[in-house]
Structure 1
Amino acid sequence: MHQTGAQAYNQTAKVVESPRQRESALLMKAAAGLQKVKDEWETSTQDELRSALTFNRKLWTIFMSAVTQDDSPLPVEVKQNIANLGMFVMNQTREILYEGVPQAEQLTVLVQLNRQIAAGLRGM
């Protein structure tokens, strides 16, 4: 079967990309989605806001689930920090979606958090 260049690249990227690099890329994707909604706040729809927040929430749910597994190799302190950050993300998301009128500024902390964690995963 003939592959396009993009398909071949994606297959290779999956092999050479480390889990940390993948996590970093996903956090940056979530941050970009949230930032886009924030930047286009006046024209963004409730569905776009909900979609960006849902992607971010699901990502953090996966992180929290992974670090709380018994076989997670991370130190206890790191596990606890990730779990705490995840709970913060869940609370912020709930607050934005269900408590009062959402404000663009509420997305800033989620964008910054994702970018900082992504940078840390990349070793910056």
Structure 2
Amino acid sequence: MSNAAQAYSRTSQITGNAREIEAQALLKAAKQLRDVQSNWAGPDAKMHKALLFNRRLWTIFMSAAEADTNPHSIEVRQNIANISIFVMHQTVDMQLAPDPSKLKPLIDINCQIAAGLAGRT
């Protein structure tokens, strides 16, 4: 095997496919949010960091859903956009009126979508 082939093989094993990467990112965001919820001491930097990471992740998903090059059906793309909008509204609500119970829907959505991406629905 050539050096290039070996390097590609190692890289592909490390990075995985796009669905796996998306699932892992969603689980990371869910874990951060769950940690904030479990260790609630009021709004703090950890909460804002977790919300920012989750919001950025869903902004990426929304942008991808809106892209003309997206291969998914309009229905799937619309569902992703609708979930993204809900996540954004829930995030703003959490920032304006912090309450750890408001994190549950965000955590649940991330875990459910991650399970679907990983084929564990």
TM-score with structure 2 setting the length: 0.87
Matches within 5 A, 1:84-95: 84-95=82-93
Moved over 4 A (4+): none
Q: What is residue 123 of structure 1 aligned with on the other side?
A: 119
Matches within 5 A, 1:10-49: 11=11, 12-14=13-15, 17-42=16-41, 46-49=44-47
Rounded to whole Å, the distance in 1 between the matches of 2:75 and 2:64 is 14
For residue 56 of structure 1, give the secondary structure of its aligned residue in structure 2.
helix
For residue 105 of structure 1, give the secondary structure of its aligned residue in structure 2.
helix
Of the three residues 40, 50, 53, the one matched with 1:55 is 53
Paired residue type of 1:117: I
For residue 74 of structure 1, give the secondary structure of its aligned residue in structure 2.
coil
Q: What is residue 107 of structure 2 aligned with on the other side?
A: 111
Paired residue type of 2:14: A
Rounded to whole Å, the distance in 1 between the matches of 2:89 and 2:52 is 13
| CA positional deviation for 1:46 | 1.3
Rounded to whole Å, the distance in 1 between the matches of 2:36 and 2:67 is 33
Rounded to whole Å, the distance in 2 between the matches of 1:49 and 1:122 is 27
Q: Which whole-Å deviations, capped at 9, do the CAs of 1:40-97 have from their partners, x for residues lacking one?
A: 003x651111000000000000000011100100111000000000000000000110
Rounded to whole Å, the distance in 1 between the matches of 2:43 and 2:67 is 37
Rounded to whole Å, the distance in 2 between the matches of 1:45 and 1:80 is 32
Count of residues in Structure 1 that have an aligned counterpart in Structure 2: 110
For residue 100 of structure 2, give the secondary structure of its aligned residue in structure 1.
coil
TM-score with structure 1 setting the length: 0.85
Question: Which structure: greater helix fraction?
Answer: 2
